[in-house]
Structure 1
Amino acid sequence: MTAVFPGIPPEFVDQLLPTKLGIEITQWSADRVVATMPVKGNLQPYGLLHGGANAVLAETIGSACAALNAGLDRATMGLELSCTHHRGVREGIVTGVATPLHVGRGTVTVDIVITDEQGRRSCTARLTCVVRDRPPGS
């Protein structure tokens, strides 16, 4: 399943950074958001998956998880992202899994684990989003 971005016109989706990196969201729920990303096309000069690509994957699924927990009448915005890169990945596909750690009225914190095709953890991330009321008409 290709990522769907509610409220984004279909002709604009190809301009989104997650689309450019090949991120595909495969599972959406308030308890768990899962996505995959190809390593090919997302490398740094040493031939390893770029840490920034890991960060984009983490922020994409962490933000989706936070938004699903905040509810339709609330808006979430990234406040802090922390990524620890445990091992390099040279090929294949990585999978990110985001689960909520804290769901509060003002913030949502999400744990994100990224693994390679052998199930080895390559990155651990934590994203905290601030939660606000949506402006009228948005």
Structure 2
Amino acid sequence: MSAAHPSPAEPTAAAAAAPALSAELRAHFAPLLDGTLMERCGMELLTLDAGGGTMSMPVAGNTQPAGLLHGGATIALAESIASFAAILRAREVHGEGAQAVGTSVSALHHRSARTGLVTATAVARHAGRQVASYLVDVHDEAGMLLSTVTVEAMLLPPR
């Protein structure tokens, strides 16, 4: 496959760069997901560090009336993985207890999906002390690019 359409068996360089979610990190974030949109949409953290990560979501249950993956669900997936990475960046900069909040999201949808899983891969484009920006590509199981999303987050010190 071409670089524009990576195979799921051959993850993008960005996806390969982020480490698999450690048991410690998974245990830390698991209670934070209870009752959230991420839980209702079936999102699953796959890899994560302050520089980015990957998160998947089933198409089933996240569709619009025409049976296609809902653009809003796609954006929520992209913002979620970028936000998790931004939280880790905030903690690198400001210490334990720091948080990140999204301030801007912009999406371009190239195509949609009807079945299977979609995976969002976030890569930091700017990792500052107050703001972090991520570029997120969302692919289907065949590796087709569905959406490109930019997410900016403000990095907040502990309160």
TM class by shorter chain equals: 0.7 to 0.9
* Residue 4 (structure 1) shift: 4.0
Give the corresponding residue for 2:17. Answer: none
Give the corresponding residue for 1:64. Answer: 84
* Residue 132 (structure 1) shift: 2.0
Which of 57, 61, 85 is the equivalent residue of 1:41? 61
Higher helix share: 2
Aligned pairs (5 A) from 1:1-138 = 4=26, 6=28, 10=31, 13-71=33-91, 72-73=95-96, 74-135=98-159
> Are the counterparts in 1 of residues 42 and 58 from structure 2 also a CA contact under 8 Å?
yes
TM value normalised by structure 2: 0.76
Q: For residue 143 of structure 2, give the secondary structure of its aligned residue in structure 1.
A: coil
Q: For residue 119 of structure 1, give the secondary structure of its aligned residue in structure 2.
A: coil
Give the corresponding residue for 2:18. Answer: none
Q: For residue 99 of structure 1, give the secondary structure of its aligned residue in structure 2.
A: strand
Which ranges in structure 2 are unaligned for 5 or more consecutive residues? 1-20
Aligned length: 133
How many percent of aligned residue pairs carry the same amino acid?
34
Q: Alpha carbon RMSD of aligned pairs, Å?
A: 2.1
* Residue 38 (structure 1) shift: 0.3
Distance 1:58 1:5, change over 3 A: farther
**1:81-135 Cα distance to aligned partner (Å, 9 max, x none):** 1111110111111011111100111100011110001101001101101112111
